[in-house]
Structure 1
Amino acid sequence: MDVWKGLIEFLKLAPRYLVAIALGAGLLVFLPESTQRTLGLDGVIHSYRGWFGVTLIASLSTLSVWIALIPINAFQQARQERKRRARLHDRLYDLTEGEKQILRYYLAKNTRSNRLKIDDGTVNGLVMSGVIYRAANQGSLLSGFDHNITDEALMFISAHPEVLQGSTNTYRTDRSHFDGI
């Protein structure tokens, strides 16, 4: 049972440790006998050469698998990013009038920040969709908290202003005149 636990822990090692283990085991396996005697390792290497060989093969195999997974993981991340971006674009084409009013503020004022109430369902819908995010933890329930628009959403609505066309042309902020604005 302990052997399996040890094997699983070995497979969890970071690549930098696997490289060090492979180099160390490879050095011990392929070290010339004269150097082994000089270092006083000839007895240890002779007794455990098989284990050093197994360690070398296991670390190189694990490292090879890790290296082979790099492009696969990069492909999966790029695919997930494309899906996330497509969902955001679809969401921006399916805005309610209230959501459009909030987003119009960012374009009308040429800003990335808007003060919005956090107990508002429209605001929370935009936050959950990844269109805007709460940028500050300081604020109030009366005048709201600062919410920033994501870079992707801002670029998209700047390039496709038609998504903000609706039944009104007003914009919305929850800033009050007491906020100093």
Structure 2
Amino acid sequence: MDPSKILDFIKLSPRYLAAIALITGAMIFLPESALTRLGIARIAGDYKGWLGIGFLASAALLSVSLATIILGKLTQGLASRQRKEHIEERLRSLTEAEKQILRYYFAKRTRSNRLRIDDGTVRGLVFSGIIFRSTDVGNILSGFDHNISDTALNYICDHPEVLNGETNSYRTDRSQWDN
């Protein structure tokens, strides 16, 4: 038996594994009268051992595949929740310079702000996941467009008091010649 054929079987998608498990399981567990009506009673009887191996292998691989999918979704959900909690915690401890940048989004009711990427305050907000550079079009002098994350925008809209600070001004690096 060629080992590559076994590996190809292991790589089958869950829908094919489910079909194989269903068919082989039916050929093993259906009553003799039902197998006779389907015209497969002789095949089922002659190859019952191989059908059993196929059923067990496909059922086991299907179980592992489904468990992997479920575990991946749970892990992804947990990571997403942790990111959200981190952003919300970070929004509760902003510096005045960070608040000025975020006030622009809130005051202008926009998702985009032109900011310089060589600024430490901007880089800190990007690193925290509060804002992100949304385009590679821009330059070092006038900056690049940065969008606010959905989590940060929702939290700021629900808790605008996080933007209260020493001043009431906002910041953009957009020049008068930018669109």
TM-score for both structures, normalised by structure 1: 0.79
Q: Matched residues, percent identical? A: 52
Residue deviations 1:40-61 (CA, integer Å, cap 9, x gap)? xx4x655543112111122123
Residue deviations 1:151-177, cap 9 Å, x none? 111111122122112222211100111
1:119 aligned partner, one-letter code = D
Q: Which amino acid aligns with 2:178?
A: D
The CA deviation at 1:20 is: 2.1
Q: Partner residue of 2:131? A: 132
Q: How far has the Cα of 1:26 moved from its partner? A: 3.3
Distance 1:120 1:67 in 2: 46
Q: What is the CA-CA distance between 1:17 and the residue it aligns to?
A: 1.5
- Matched residue SS, 1:179: coil
Unaligned runs of 5+ in 1: none
Deviations 1:122-159 (A, max 9, x none): 11211121111112221121111111111111111122
Q: Quote the residue 2:40 is aligned against.
A: 36
User: Take 1:95 and 1:10, find their aligned partners in 2: how far apart are those partners?
Assistant: 54
Map of 1:53 onto structure 2: 52
Matched residue, 2:17: 18
How far apart are the structure 1 equivalents of 2:26 and 2:118? 64
Map 1:62-101 → 2, pairs under 5 A: 62-67=61-66, 73-101=72-100
Letter in 2 for 1:36: I
TM-score norm. by structure 2 comes to: 0.80
Matching of residue 154 in structure 1 with residue 153 in structure 2: yes
Letter in 2 for 1:87: H
CA–CA distance in 2 between the matches of 1:45 and 1:3? 26
Where in structure 2 are there 5+ consecutive unaligned residues? none
Distance 1:69 1:136, change over 3 A: closer
Q: Give the drift of 1:71.
A: 5.3
Aligned residues: 174
